[in-house]
Amino acid sequence: MPKPAANVALIGCGRISGHHARALAVVPGARLIAVCDLVEDKARAYGAEFSVPFHTDYREMLARHPEIDTVAVITPSGMHFEHGMEMLEAWGKSVIMEKPTFMRPEQLDAACDRASELGLHLFPVFQNRYNKAVARVKRAIDSGELGAVRIVSVRTRWCRPQRYYELAPWRGTFAMDGGCLTNQGIHHVDLLRYLGGEVERVNATMRTLGADIEVEDTVVATFTYAGGQVGSLEVTTAARPDDFEASISLVCANGLARIGGIAVNELLEFTPDPAACAECCEDFSRSVYGNGHAKMYRDIVAFLTDGTPYPVSRADCLSTIKLLHAFYRSDEAGGWVDVDSPAQSARLGRPDEALADLYRTPCPDSDR
Ligand SMILES: NC(=O)c1ccc[n+]([C@@H]2O[C@H](COP(=O)([O-])OP(=O)(O)OC[C@H]3O[C@@H](n4cnc5c(N)ncnc54)[C@H](O)[C@@H]3O)[C@@H](O)[C@H]2O)c1
């Protein structure tokens, strides 16, 4: 049997990790080698379900399984930088980084610089780009079928009650999670520039309306693109009693594209080719996380096998993280801000050593 292009280990066996493990079971050229979680029961359950060894200490896992060449970092978002850098620098592993990739733009730069110095790779996860509806609209924009984009509108109305934030200490914190825009809305922040173009200026208002947390659970914003187009965004996890929609629509010179469903998974209107609507609807009723992880692993294998460019480049990812930050900076400034600015949000991704300590793998000589 040929050697797999990617021998993958998972760090973090939480809510999203099953999508990685299931994808790895079906993608030729990628193989799950081992899993790890600080919580032994979680690691054991994943190990049993996917018939691989489990560990609670990723250092022990990496030492025991030297064939691992790629690590999927699926830990709390505020730990991605620390865990990712250790994988690159101390272990020489390429990294698959769950969204939002990193909490701050300079972390992406530092990790990408280090990866390229070491001849390693960093693969950001934005799996909603693979949704059939999103892919069809992207093709229509790139080919000119839809014509120039004029207005982009994002609307995400999901329900995350207090008990969701109480699932783990990292949730609902600026250091480790960010609010509805960083956790749930990052996919739509990414899509509004993936489909609409680069955003130049943002004016956002954030509120916490439905839960007792320090981060926002509601954002409304307007924004302007470098090309003159305009947009609006409403993202909330304060909708009750259920998740209702995650939508993006684009008014373009040659027609309208409206993507909706629970997680941008249904092409609801597409005037250049109305028949495409039926073909580009996917059933996400089993999971809002969709079907994109397997397609992402296929792209990782293609990149590692024959150099086919991975679809999320460093520049692409950096623009999404800078845009994410601009929404927070605007709320902090109380008005319009430029996206392309070295300024940083004072809140998103701020250090919190006590929280970080909860998610650090103890060193053998520490007394924890
Ligand atoms: N792509 C998507 O749509 C999507 C969806 C959900 C979550 N995510 C991202 O995935 C990440 C995890 O989210 P989740 O909802 O699965 O969280 P979770 O809390 O359910 O799981 C995180 C797991 O990481 C483990 N962990 C933390 N530090 C560790 C360490 N040092 N070693 C081993 N395990 C460690 C925790 O014990 C926990 O089980 C977040 O960054 C989140 O933004 C992405």
Q: Per the domain annotation, does 355 fall within a domain?
A: no
Total domains in the fold of the chain: 2
Segment 291-302 shows an average pLDDT of 97
Which residue, of 80, 102, 127, is where some domain finishes?
127
Q: Per the domain annotation, does 359 fall within a domain?
A: no
| Residue of 11, 15, 54 to test ligand 1 pocket, by largest number of atoms within 8 Å of CB | 15
263-277 tens-digit pLDDT: 999 999 999 999 999
Q: How many helices (H) and strands (E) does the chain have?
A: 12, 14
- Of all atoms in ligand 1, which is nearest to the CA of residue 290? 3
Q: Per the domain annotation, does 242 fall within a domain?
A: yes
- Phi and psi (nearest 5°) for 346? -75, -15
pLDDT of residue 366: 60
The CATH code of the domain that includes 325 is 3.30.360.10
Tokens of 360: 């650090």
Cβ within 8 Å of residue 194, ≥6 positions away: 126, 129, 134, 138, 316
Segment 279-302 shows an average pLDDT of 94
Segment 211-236 shows an average pLDDT of 98
Distance CA 136, CA 265 (A): 11
pLDDT at 367 over 60: no
Q: Which residues line ligand 1 (CB under 6 A)?
A: 11-17, 36-39, 42, 58, 74-77, 79, 98-99, 125, 127, 168, 183, 289, 359, 361
Residue from 256, 237, 233, 259 nearest 248 by CA:
259
Residues 92 and 139 reside in one and the same domain: no
Residues 323 and 178 reside in one and the same domain: yes
Where in the sequence is the domain holding 39, given as residue range(s)? 6-127
Residues 194 and 96 reside in one and the same domain: no
Residues 179 and 282 reside in one and the same domain: yes
83-123 tens-digit pLDDT: 999 999 999 999 999 999 999 999 999 999 999 999 999 99
Question: DSSP string of 295-306?
Answer: HHHHHHHHHHHH
| Residue of 75, 91, 160 to test ligand 1 pocket, by largest number of atoms within 8 Å of CB | 75
pLDDT of residue 368: 46
Residues 121 and 155 reside in one and the same domain: no
Residues 103 and 89 reside in one and the same domain: yes
Report how far ligand 1's centroid is from the alpha carbon of 74 (Å): 4
DSSP alpha helices (H): ranges in the chain?
17-26, 40-50, 58-64, 80-89, 105-117, 132-143, 162-165, 186-196, 276-279, 292-306, 314-333, 353-358
Q: Per the domain annotation, does 222 fall within a domain?
A: yes
Cβ within 8 Å of residue 105, ≥6 positions away: 318, 321, 322, 325, 344
Residues 219 and 88 reside in one and the same domain: no
Tokens of 312: 């999320």
